[in-house]
Structure formats: C-alpha cells, structure tokens
Chains A and B, each alone.
Chain A
C-alpha cells in the first residue's frame, strides 16, 4: 500500500518560515494536498493540487511537490498557525493521508 511519511513535529519561531514535508515514492507524479487541524476542530483544506490555495487561505501558505517530496511552507508563521497538518494524495481511487505533523510556534 502507498504510504505518506511526515515528521511528527516541527517547531518554528513567530515570523519565521515553517516547512513541513510529506514523502513517498514518486509523490511528485501525483497531486498532493494539505489540511490544517486545530484541537477540537475538523480538518481544513489549506493547499490542493500541490500549490493552489482555497479561497480565504492566507497567502503565507504555499505548497510544492517534486520528486518524492511534497512540502507545505508557511511564511511569516503566526501563533494562530499552530496546529496539526496532514498531507493527502490518491493511489488510484484510494485516498491516502500522512501521519500528521504537529506544528509548534514558540
């Protein structure tokens, strides 16, 4: 089965750039998307089709996907960005989620 690997945790200082990776074999040949989930809330889409932002998502969120790695980048990270982040792709008709990364802003 196809698996997406994320680092369990990433820390960043306020105002700095946070990068969260998602790795899998030839992931760059597929589309990746990213979801943000804050405690007690449902996941929220922040990036789809590798690098597109849904309406209402701040420009500081960006995405890329090449080779074996998709990356979510948060520029000028704010305290309110602290959350769990999940990458997701498709393996045929099967949706696959990564194990999640806890972003800490300290």
Chain B
C-alpha cells in the first residue's frame, strides 16, 4: 500500500523560502523507474505541476518556476524535499506530492497522492 504525506509550514512570509517534505511508504525511490512529483493548487483554481525527481536523481522543473524550485530526495528516509524561494501571495496554495507510476517516457501518471498541505503566504 502506497501512502504519502506532506509536511511543512502552514504560513510563510513574503520573500521567505518554503521547505516542504513528502514522507512516503510502500515504494522505494531507490527502485529503478520510480519517481515522485509535486503539484500545487491555489484555492479554487486548477492543478499546477511543479517538479519531479526520479530514482536516479534525474530532476525536472516547471519552466515557469524553475529558477525558484529545488527538489531533492533522501531514499534512505523515504523522503523528498521541495524548496521554493522568494515566496509571494500568489504562491498560496495546497501543495501535493504524488507517486509517479513507472512507465515508458510520457506514459507515466500520478496514481497515489498525499492529502496535501495548505501553505498561506502572508505578512
């Protein structure tokens, strides 16, 4: 059974750096093909993909946010960390982590999602 859970601050100030942790079980990021992604959703708005990391430490970022994002993994702890710099009110959203089911390139999908964590950016 695959489970994921996001953790981190619920409130950050503008210009601060956000650090979120995804703790997961039921799979290993050391296993070939495995990946984990971050997706966010502003209140009442659509899903937006942020970043993705694979078992081999291959990393990919949303082109529009690439300069502000860093994704890292600690496979031994079953954790993935996302940092986002220079937070702004527009970054207020629920942040989800999701397991990427291994498949051929561009055939992958997010089957298992965490419960999400709401991050509010306000002074």
Using CB atoms and an 8 Å cutoff, list the residues of chain A in contact with chain B.
1, 30-31, 33, 35, 37, 42-45, 48-49, 54, 86, 88-90, 92-100
Contact = CB atoms under 8 A, between A and B. Distances in A.
B113 A44 contact: yes
Of A30, A35, A89, A98, most buried by chain B (CB within 10 Å of CB) is A35
Contact of A100 (B46, B60, B110): B46
B91 to A, nearest CB: 17
Q: What range describes how many residues of B lie at the interface?
A: 20 to 34
A49 B101 CA distance: 11
Contacts, number: 64
Interface stretch (B13-21, B47-55, B70-78, B80-88): B47-55
B82 to A, nearest CB: 14
Contact of B111 (A30, A45, A99): A45
Of A44, A89, A94, A98, most buried by chain B (CB within 10 Å of CB) is A94
A42 B47 contact: no
